[in-house]
Structure 1
Amino acid sequence: MYLPGFYLVVEHLPTENKSLVAPKDTTFLGLLKPWLGDGLFLSSGDKWSRHRRLLTPAFHFDILKPYVKIFNQSVNIMHAKWKQLSLEGSARLEMFENISLMTLDSLQKCLFGFDSNCQESHSEYISAILELSSLIIKRSQQLFLFVDFLYYRTADGRRFRKACDLVHNFTDAVIRERRRTLSRQSLDEFLKSKTKSKTLDFIDVLLMAKDEHGKELSDEDIRAEADTFMFGGHDTTASALSWILYNLARHPEYQERCRQEVQELLRGREPEEIEWEDLAQLPFLTMCIKESLRLHPPVIDLLRRCTQDIVLPDGRVIPKGNICVISIFGIHHNPSVWPDPEVYDPFRFDPENRQKRSPLSFIPFSAGPRNCIGQTFAMNEMKVALALTLLRFRVLPDDKEPRRKPELILRAEGGLWLRVEPLSGGTQ
């Protein structure tokens, strides 16, 4: 099998050529297709453009605003478990495992309006999502299993098919049930019922979406977008939050400043809950999140296939058809842009400093037309989770320093372990 050459592009490509590298390479991403279908993450061309237009309203602030209450609820469940484990002092916890369940819990509620109680009891659907992610990583490390004919004759291949079927059947059942509800009610009646619950689920928005010709998304398209959001939204946010807590554990002075900011914001308020309006009132906490996303970006690189020759600023040419590996990690650690790049310094993101850098020097959510459509959703969830965690717990470093482990997202070898210590003033 012939694979075009790979180029590592650390500095951004010339602005006028950015659109020329838009198509994603499918060598690896094709492994995800049986699970994610032709959703935004994998589609291209006219289909991608149409779906991007139709999905954009799902991330309008009117839709995102009620999700903040769901974030609070899911974080509260996670914290109740942490407090139980910490009854006799501090608890040593593996962050990815705990936070992944919390983000999956939030996503299932926001996407489907479904509470699986997955943080406290077993959920077949959530287990299937986690298994699919694990199997994809494992398959990506065995080149001969990229061939479907071989892979689906292995035990892992059969497990992958079974997990895919379970996830697809769940999503299909939700879509069918919502279609039946819509067929029995007028659109106004449906929206009125949703107004009472104060939440319009992601699936609802997709079912009601129509393009300029009045054409709706098919059930298969809706399933692909829902499955894509579940895949893309849980691991990345869990990785980001885990590394944020790690960085604040290692820098207690920044952790305490964030805590004081949250305490001041919520002073005298009962219950202690982060609301939509609070999200813009946490400037230092936001700076700490962004600096951690720079130092430990959840997604470390992007792959794009050149549609024509790309001329770099120094005159060298990347030939048409080649794959560019654009290193987010490399860009975020470029010493000519970020002095002392391994140092965790939230003040890099002070608004005054930000104006001095290229917008393409910080791309944790990618950049350009194919940037992450869910980045506001993710940032909101991270702010809520981090604010409530620091309000209720002191986060302390583990004895062993974690080693970065890049997979689908940036993990830590052997897990990312931290200690959490309940604060007497934090309530739920």
Structure 2
Amino acid sequence: MYILLLFTLVSVCVAWLYLKWMHMKSYWVNKGVPQGPIHPLFGSMTFLQKKNPGKWMQEVYDQFKQSPYVGIWVFWRPGLVVNSPELARQVLVKDADVFRNRLLRSGQRDPLGALNLFTVDDPLWSSIRRRLTAVFTASKLRGWHELYQSKVTDLVERIRTDNEKGVSVNLRSLFADYATDIIGESSFGIQCQATKNSSGPLRAMTQEFEKYSKWRGMGWSSMFFLPEMVDICGFSFWPQHTVDYFRKIFSMMVKERGGLDKEVDGKRDLLDALLKMRQDALKDNQDMNLDILVSNAMIFLQGGYDTSSSALMYICYELAYHPEYQQRLFEELSQAKEKLGGREFEASDLAELPFLNAVFNETIRKYPIMGWLDRVALRDYQIDEHLTIKAGTVVYVNAVGMHKDSQYFPEPDKFLPERFLPENVKDVLPYTFMPFGEGPRACIGKRIGQNTVRYALAAVVLNFEIRSKPGELEPNDIEQDKRQMFYAPAQVLSVDFVSRK
């Protein structure tokens, strides 16, 4: 009797799996949408933990670049990869109200990972975004000039000291130290010294952020592509000991400001804005618990330091292999410095230097921090006259694919900053260059990231010649870390900094 029951259950499961498999194979085909090979259990996600998702997105784009979209299976969930700038605009901007949420999320057992601007859905996302926008205005950032100047002075001295000691520079670590200080002091008012000595409470945290074990890699893969498994497997966005540590730091910071209930205007820094956000929400009878504040403080720390340090790392590495561009940048900076008559660069000065900004933009074109932008359709949506997708379908805008399409950027594997000079940038087709995202969910910290990179790059190039080290990988040979979701190198990148006379 039991054997018969077991046989029946197994038969039903096998039949269900078979029908599900046949549905997956025919779903996009019946809609006239091209689709690559799929696995009966993993769908199109067999690449996870085998190659970087950004690399996989680029391969999908190259294979189906003649089609504006490609059907995929995110495990057993239908997904659509968008390869068209026109459709990218539709999804990210024109019809953003249909695509307000992302698939990415953490679980109920991980409140700090689930309640920040990066992972949370509407309506909480809109509330947080609206309340924090005031921190990132141009006028607010102008007040950070002295901080930037102090930290780039420390950065130059750090490189000189390392040279004297014969220390081989790890570019990622060096610029992570600097960027952690910028975020720590500008956002939380904490005095940080990581640029000088790679230490401090916040740097201890960002060093933990950089560690991706096999388990953490699986956790992040789940959050990005199969969030239903996060609670089942007990994954968390950040290591638990890091969360516990930051809770203590956050409590100390709040106590120094006079506590959660002390009235603030929200204009001082990110911490001030978070406190004001909670106070305003309580006045409006909205739920805004402490976890929301801590979660958003942590995501700004990670997002702020990680993106800026990665950009600086790749810029210096490319300049080491392109001395002609490095010399051109040095001359632009030197001439601009001379015109200032001894005054230090300010953010507005650096924003007006065409070649400096061209180098920055070309780097984040070639090395976008995240290679795609995911959105979930809240209702049935007509993509074009041929295709309507169902509510719940996840859509991936293939940013890295368009960044590296020779139709939009000739010789895309070459580092060519002149693409973004004023006389050429007009030829860049809208929505083919999206390093900070587009639309309502575009990166809120864009201006901070730009300033952090500009100040550091100007100081480094004016004081040092950047040279490649014998035996190091050529830029195009850099492998991307397969455990991470972001476009991070799998190996240490190092250069020589030679002091200029």
TM-score (structure 2 length as normaliser): 0.73
Work out which of the residue numbers 77, 84, 97 in structure 2 matches 1:4.
77
What is the alpha-carbon distance in structure 2 between the residues aligned to residue 67 and residue 99 of structure 1?
18
| Contact 2:77-2:393 within 8 A present in 1 as well | yes
Question: What's 1:195 paired with?
Answer: none
Question: What's 2:189 paired with?
Answer: 113
What is the alpha-carbon distance in structure 1 between the residues aligned to residue 431 and residue 156 of structure 2?
36
Question: What's 1:345 paired with?
Answer: 416
Segments of 5+ residues of structure 2 without an aligned counterpart are 1-40, 42-74, 224-228
| Contact 2:107-2:230 within 8 A present in 1 as well | no
What is the alpha-carbon distance in structure 2 between the residues aligned to residue 31 and residue 292 of structure 1?
37
Question: What's 1:128 paired with?
Answer: 205
Question: What's 1:165 paired with?
Answer: 244
Seen in structure 2, the aligned counterparts of structure 1 residues 10 and 85 have a Cα distance that, compared at 3 Å, is same
| Contact 2:82-2:397 within 8 A present in 1 as well | yes
Q: How does 1:46-195 map to 2 (within 5 A)?
A: 46-87=123-164, 92-119=168-195, 120=197, 122-135=199-212, 138-141=215-218, 146-148=229-231, 150-151=233-234, 160-180=239-259, 183=262
> Per-residue deviation at 1:168?
1.8
Seen in structure 2, the aligned counterparts of structure 1 residues 6 and 397 have a Cα distance that, compared at 3 Å, is farther
Q: Answer with 212-221 or 228-237: which moved more.
A: 212-221
Question: What's 1:206 paired with?
Answer: 274
| Contact 1:24-1:304 within 8 A present in 2 as well | yes
| Contact 1:132-1:164 within 8 A present in 2 as well | no
Amino acid across the alignment from 1:77: D
Work out which of the residue numbers 11, 23, 26 in structure 1 matches 2:104.
26
1:13-46: per-residue Cα shift (whole Å, max 9, x none)?
Answer: 262444423311136x559954444121122212
Seen in structure 2, the aligned counterparts of structure 1 residues 63 and 7 have a Cα distance that, compared at 3 Å, is same
Q: Answer with 273-282 or 285-294: which moved more.
A: 273-282
- Greater gyration radius: 2
Amino acid across the alignment from 1:62: S
1:300-338: per-residue Cα shift (whole Å, max 9, x none)?
Answer: 222222223343447234433222232221120122211
Q: Does 1:400 align with 2:472?
A: yes
Amino acid across the alignment from 1:265: A
Seen in structure 2, the aligned counterparts of structure 1 residues 41 and 311 have a Cα distance that, compared at 3 Å, is same
Secondary structure at 1:5 match in 2? strand
What is the alpha-carbon distance in structure 1 between the residues aligned to residue 214 and residue 207 of structure 2?
11
Question: What's 1:320 paired with?
Answer: 391
> Per-residue deviation at 1:378?
0.6
Segments of 5+ residues of structure 1 without an aligned counterpart are 192-198
| Contact 1:249-1:395 within 8 A present in 2 as well | yes
Question: What's 1:379 paired with?
Answer: 450
Work out which of the residue numbers 316, 334, 350 in structure 2 matches 1:245.
316
What is the alpha-carbon distance in structure 2 between the residues aligned to residue 396 and residue 351 of structure 1?
28
Amino acid across the alignment from 2:316: L
| Contact 2:96-2:440 within 8 A present in 1 as well | no
Question: What's 1:194 paired with?
Answer: none
Secondary structure at 2:431 match in 1? helix
Work out which of the residue numbers 350, 355, 366 in structure 2 matches 1:295.
366
| Contact 1:129-1:167 within 8 A present in 2 as well | no
What is the alpha-carbon distance in structure 1 between the residues aligned to residue 230 and residue 274 of structure 2?
33
What is the alpha-carbon distance in structure 2 between the residues aligned to residue 112 and residue 212 of structure 1?
21
What is the alpha-carbon distance in structure 2 between the residues aligned to residue 176 and residue 320 of structure 1?
45
Considering Cα pairs closer than 8 Å and 6+ residues apart, tell me whether 1 or 2 has the greater RCO.
1
| Contact 1:32-1:136 within 8 A present in 2 as well | no
| Contact 1:299-1:409 within 8 A present in 2 as well | yes
Task: Give the superposed CA RMSD.
Answer: 3.2
Work out which of the residue numbers 300, 325, 330 in structure 2 matches 1:259.
330
What is the alpha-carbon distance in structure 2 between the residues aligned to residue 121 and residue 330 of structure 1?
36
Q: Does 1:284 align with 2:355?
A: yes
Secondary structure at 1:304 match in 2? strand
| Contact 1:68-1:380 within 8 A present in 2 as well | no
| Contact 2:102-2:374 within 8 A present in 1 as well | yes
What is the alpha-carbon distance in structure 2 between the residues aligned to residue 262 and residue 65 of structure 1?
20
Amino acid across the alignment from 1:400: E
Seen in structure 2, the aligned counterparts of structure 1 residues 106 and 315 have a Cα distance that, compared at 3 Å, is same
Amino acid across the alignment from 2:187: L
Secondary structure at 1:303 match in 2? strand
Seen in structure 2, the aligned counterparts of structure 1 residues 322 and 136 have a Cα distance that, compared at 3 Å, is farther
Q: Answer with 246-255 or 218-227: which moved more.
A: 218-227
Amino acid across the alignment from 1:204: D
What is the alpha-carbon distance in structure 1 between the residues aligned to residue 341 and residue 246 of structure 2?
39
TM-score (structure 1 length as normaliser): 0.84
